[in-house]
């Protein structure tokens, strides 16, 4: 079965268009969406910006988002209108992620906005996930827990290193028409290369259609976007690394067709 697939790999290079768009009402903030989570690891914090000089909250909030877009690796910003404080964080957070358990290693913020959030994402942490034996105790479920902070591993990633081609399988629970699959993975290619991505109605990998093959050395960034111009129905998403090196998946999103 042949499926026309477009694969887009991006580093989220920052340009003015990433930050602003001009409509009838003027410039509007883009890309970031509010998330319910408020507590994250302190190790994710990139910095704090004092917004007390701004005349109103809306302008301060807008510029807080712009500061995040202009900061390398910033994927989340949190704004406190009471203190006019803007915190920039390096972590990927879905809209449904509840937040990490508070501890001496975490910080709690007022209101947070994530560039990883997408209301169309069907992935939830209660889905059934299986995979190769995890390296250093990591679990396949970590790839769909809705949260990734590079400094908080191995709890929030899945990494396998068996002598066999490593795999990850996600069961959505029912058939979904999929328009896009987004995979957050390491930038170093030896941890994510020769990956065959399949989608279909069977838990048996060979009985599903290949929707993408990510070739060795093709990855220049840490997010691979598999766009399906013609949505593909399926209940099972399969990822298999066709080599015996490390295989790491930080987070997966699956976007339902409208």
Q: What pLDDT does residue 17 have? A: 30
Spell out the domain ranges in the chain.
Answer: 6-10+120-256, 31-114
Q: What pLDDT does residue 63 have? A: 93
CATH fold of the domain at 31-114? Hepatocyte Growth Factor (3.50.4)
The answer to whether 6-10+120-256 and 31-114 have equal CATH topology is no
CATH fold of the domain at 6-10+120-256? Jelly Rolls (2.60.120)
Neighbours of 163 (CB within 10 A): 6
Global pTM reads 0.85
Per-residue pLDDT of the chain (258 residues; tens, 9 = 90+): 445 444 443 333 333 334 333 333 333 345 899 999 999 999 999 999 999 999 889 999 999 999 999 988 899 999 999 999 999 999 999 999 999 999 999 999 999 999 999 999 999 999 999 999 998 889 999 999 999 998 877 789 999 987 788 999 999 999 999 999 999 988 777 788 889 999 999 999 999 999 999 866 545 568 889 999 999 999 999 999 987 778 999 999 999 998
Q: Are residues 107 and 40 in contact, defined by beta-carbon separation less than 8 angstroms?
A: yes
Helix H or strand E encompassing 18:
helix 16-19
d(CA 174, CA 254): 13
d(CA 254, CA 123): 6
Q: 209, 221, 218: which is closest to 185 by C-alpha?
A: 221
DSSP strands (E only) in the chain: 6-10, 20-23, 26-29, 33-35, 39-41, 45-50, 76-80, 85-89, 92-93, 106-108, 111-114, 128-131, 147-148, 158-160, 167-184, 195-200, 209-214, 223-241, 247-249, 251-256
**DSSP letters for 71-87:** STT--EEEEETTTTEEE
The two tokens of residue 70 are 């202009």
Compute, in degrees rounded to 10, the torsion defined by CA atoms 51, 53, 56, 58: -30
**DSSP letters for 57-68:** HHHHHHHHHHHH
Q: What pLDDT does residue 216 have? A: 60
Q: Are residues 182 and 252 in contact, defined by beta-carbon separation less than 8 angstroms?
A: yes
């Amino acid at each position: 079965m042949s499926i026309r697939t477009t694969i887009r790999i991006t580093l989220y290079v920052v340009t003015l268009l990433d930050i602003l768009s001009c409509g009838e009402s003027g410039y509007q903030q883009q890309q970031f969406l509010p998330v319910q989570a408020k507590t994250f690891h302190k190790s994710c914090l990139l910095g704090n910006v004092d917004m007390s000089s701004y005349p109103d909250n809306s302008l301060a909030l807008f510029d807080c988002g712009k500061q995040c877009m202009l900061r390398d690796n910033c994927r989340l910003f949190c704004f406190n209108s009471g203190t006019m404080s803007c915190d920039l964080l390096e972590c990927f957070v879905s809209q449904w992620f509840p937040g990490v358990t508070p501890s001496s290693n975490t910080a709690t913020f007022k209101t947070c906005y994530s560039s990883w959030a997408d209301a169309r994402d069907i992935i939830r942490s209660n889905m059934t996930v299986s995979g190769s034996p995890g390296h250093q105790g990591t679990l396949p479920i970590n790839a769909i827990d809705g949260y990734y902070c590079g400094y908080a591993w191995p709890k929030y990633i899945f990494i396998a290193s068996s002598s066999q081609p490593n795999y990850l399988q996600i069961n959505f629970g029912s058939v979904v028409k999929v328009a896009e699959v987004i995979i957050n993975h390491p930038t170093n290619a030896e941890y994510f290369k020769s990956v065959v991505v399949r989608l279909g109605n069977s838990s048996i990998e060979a009985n599903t259609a290949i929707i993408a093959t990510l070739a060795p050395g093709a990855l220049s960034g840490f997010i691979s976007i598999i766009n399906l111009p013609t949505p593909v129905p399926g209940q099972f998403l399969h990822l298999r690394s066709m080599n015996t090196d490390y295989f790491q998946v930080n987070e997966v999103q699956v976007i339902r067709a409208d």
